[in-house]
Structure 1
């Protein structure tokens, strides 16, 4: 179990949210969960047990009124998470995985106000200076380009977007490729009023990319929330796609074909026989 899961659940007390969370933990081999917009001012052991089970430690940032709130949960049988920096927008800490060492993990719930997000970038820059593999995941409430938005007002390269790009450049963080639905949030309105955006993502530093060259974020199905959960596997393996080898008989009619095959066959290559072929 070495998958990180980040999810804006828009209310952690919903029965559907608890059922879906347990299903994702089981199917994705999750050891760490960052829940956003819990809408809970307080949470106790009994509520966490109901939400995910009794093997999980937790740390909670209370909601303000009927909005916000963050909850980080980790499986104590597999990992240890030590909280280092907190605010209404981030919970940052050290995640110790016995077989993989120490990782810096930040769960983010970015403010919709780009001015307030300035404090988020400052805290992340300060808290992620150490030379460790670092991952920032969650709902940034910001899209990086026009391809990450469909519907609604025209995309504008705003001051908030420039600040996010500047943070990523200055602190060596990179957006990784994703699989699954292109957009992670929908306002669930009908017709021309419907808006889709990619608000949720994982950012990783260069050390992570060296450890996991095939790093990717999985956008899971939107259930019990208007946001897709996003999953990031720390032990992602590079999968070599094997292609069928086809030979068209008509190729023999071309004089150049014999020369191409002859020179290709003489090349030195490595791997098993099928890969060499």
Structure 2
């Protein structure tokens, strides 16, 4: 069974619904999770009613960010909602027509450290309440090591240890990935990273002081952009 987990960064984009249909047509998911929907309530139901799924669970946004939808078709899977918060949805899944049951948790962690700590505690409690196979997927807003990010401030060792402690309590194993290592960026970041990549390629074959200087300048500029984006979403998450 295929599962799609997509951080769409807003479901009101003009091509959102057509993109969902394309993903479903190409991958035939049993479950689809849409994160950072940025809307909730009746408007959320209006949109999911137009998507190629007959069942849905909606979680409200966190200020102007967040929001999780878990979508499925009842003729292929049975889904029972166990518990949920604004940062997580926990369900028991049975794949039809088999009797195979397992736990699935969709996570969209807050950008605020205090709220993420509540999420880690919730996940640890869920781990104590079942002995079924368990998959957790989504956006954790936390890293385990510096090599998991590019630019910006160093990874906080204290926060990483709290995250790792949670994963250990849940007996989680990283399943790995295919595709780009850095899965999130914005348009300004893309332009800077494209220039940085070009400079580094040229410098590898024909190094010069001017290229080293330009490389350092671009790295500093990228750090600033990453910090601005992080501060912006932290601010939005506090506004309600």
Give the TM-score normalised by structure 2.
0.74
* Per-residue deviation, 1:179: 0.6
Higher strand share: 1
| Residue 47 of structure 2 is aligned to residue 87 of structure 1 | no
What is aligned with 1:16? 15
Distance 2:178 2:44 in 1: 35
SS of residue paired to 2:38: coil
Q: 1:147 to 1:125 in 2, by over 3 A?
A: same
* Per-residue deviation, 1:64: 4.1
Distance 1:188 1:162 in 2: 32
Q: Show CA shifts across 1:79-129 (max 9, x none).
A: 011111111110111011122611100000011122211111111122233
What is aligned with 2:158? 159
Q: Tell whether the 8 Å contact from 1:85 to 1:127 is kept in structure 2 after alignment.
A: no
What is aligned with 2:38? 39
| Residue 71 of structure 2 is aligned to residue 73 of structure 1 | yes
Q: Show CA shifts across 1:119-177 (max 9, x none).
A: 11111122233111100000111122222111223x23432211110111122111111
SS of residue paired to 2:66: coil
SS of residue paired to 1:165: helix
Runs of 5+ in structure 1 lacking a partner?
A: 198-277
Q: 1:40 to 1:18 in 2, by over 3 A?
A: same
Distance 1:27 1:124 in 2: 32
Q: What's the Cα RMSD here?
A: 2.1
What is aligned with 1:96? 94
SS of residue paired to 1:69: strand
Higher helix share: 2
Give the TM-score normalised by structure 1.
0.64
* Per-residue deviation, 1:185: 0.8
* Per-residue deviation, 1:65: 4.0
Runs of 5+ in structure 2 lacking a partner?
A: 193-217, 227-240
Counterpart mapping for 1:104-143 below 5 A: 104-129=103-128, 130-143=130-143
